[in-house]
Amino acid sequence: MQAVEINEFIRSRRSVFTKQFNAGKPVDDEIIKQILVNATWAPNHGHAEPWQFTVFCGEGLKKLAAFQSELYKQSSGEKFVPATYEKLQQTPLLASHVIAIGMKRTDTGKIPEIEDVEAVACAVQNIYLSVTGYGLGGYWTTGGITYKEEAKPFFNLGAEDKLLGFFYIGHVAVPSPPAKRKPIEEKVNWVRE
């Protein structure tokens, strides 16, 4: 791959949401496996590989939907919103696969937690690029039950670990429009002397 092709490929990556998916059309599990292998090639401090992925597909999507909607209902108290409950029940069913993104703490005395979080974020970027490479759609969401401590055991995460969200994957029915970025001059400072 030439640099010009890499530039174009990275700049063509888009978030594609479940309403844009071809609902009910499954992605082959072998493709998902390759996407996850690519995720594990992300840089990480001390070769800790702090990511842990839980993949939901088929009937497993219903299990995720039931778990997250019921946890939301139990934990929201007076802030309960029926539309949010319904969304948590329905949204996973629109995807082919949903990957729960976990961060497992490995060496808490040596590696700062933020570096494990950053490594997992790099792994998610590899997922994004891999999904794009396979011609699929996907997005990373941190909504719903992501930051609820009570959710961790469902995803085999311990007290020191973190649930960092969910990556939804499906076949694209409605592509995302092109994106724009601010000029790099607004975000980059050069120090030459």
**In which residue ranges of the chain is pLDDT below 50?**
none
User: Given this model, what pLDDT does residue 108 score?
Assistant: 66
Give the start-to-end residue ranges of the domains of the chain.
16-186
Query: In CATH terms, is domain 16-186 a member of 3.40.109.10?
Result: yes
Residues 122 and 50 sit within 8 Å (Cβ to Cβ): no
Instruction: Count other C-beta atoms under 10 Å from residue 67's C-beta.
Output: 17
Task: Convert the pLDDT of each residue in 95-145 to its tens digit.
Answer: 999 999 999 998 767 899 999 999 999 999 999 999 999 999 999 999 999
Adjacent-strand bridge partners of 172: 21
- Please name which of 22, 27, 15 lies closest in space to residue 176, comparing C-alpha atoms: 15
User: Given this model, what pLDDT does residue 190 score?
Assistant: 94
Adjacent-strand bridge partners of 102: 52, 163
